[in-house]
Amino acid sequence: MPLTYVIDRVQQRMITHADGLITFDDISRHLDAEERDRGLDLPELIDATNATTDLTSDQVRRLVQRAADTTRRIPLGPTAIVAKQDVVYGMARMYSILMEGIGAPVEVFRDVDSALRWLREIN
């Protein structure tokens, strides 16, 4: 699976690694697993430095709609996404901007240190 994660209950955060090609279906399965493991409310670091994607803007909008639907049941924790590939960075920025409309903080970074610093500050 190109998306793997660990829930760190001591630090109260989730760390996700994305490797290789990340598809809409991969992200959907990942979100299903996070919900089953009761991790959606935790701050999350998504390290996508070794990832690429074929997501479309329509699929990003569908993910935002899914998040909006989820927030009616579960509060979503802040998410920091680290991306080196321009296409991953661009799609993540689109997601971040659209998530502002539902009040779920998402930011995109080029390095892990900046992402971790933001997660510490926002909590």
pLDDT in tens, 2-20: 999 999 989 899 999 999 9
Q: Give pLDDT tens digits for 48-101.
A: 999 999 999 999 999 999 999 999 999 999 999 999 999 999 999 999 999 999
Range of the domain at 27: 3-122
pLDDT mean over 37-50: 96
Domain count, the chain: 1
Is 43:123 a contact under the CB 8 Å cutoff?
A: yes
- C-alpha neighbours within 13 Å on the C-beta side of residue 95: 27
The CATH number assigned to the domain holding 12 equals: 3.30.750
pLDDT of 1 strictly over 80: no
Instruction: Please tell me the predicted confidence (pLDDT) of residue 9.
Output: 86
pLDDT of 123 strictly over 90: no
Instruction: Please tell me the predicted confidence (pLDDT) of residue 91.
Output: 98
Question: How many CB atoms within 10 Å of residue 38?
Answer: 10
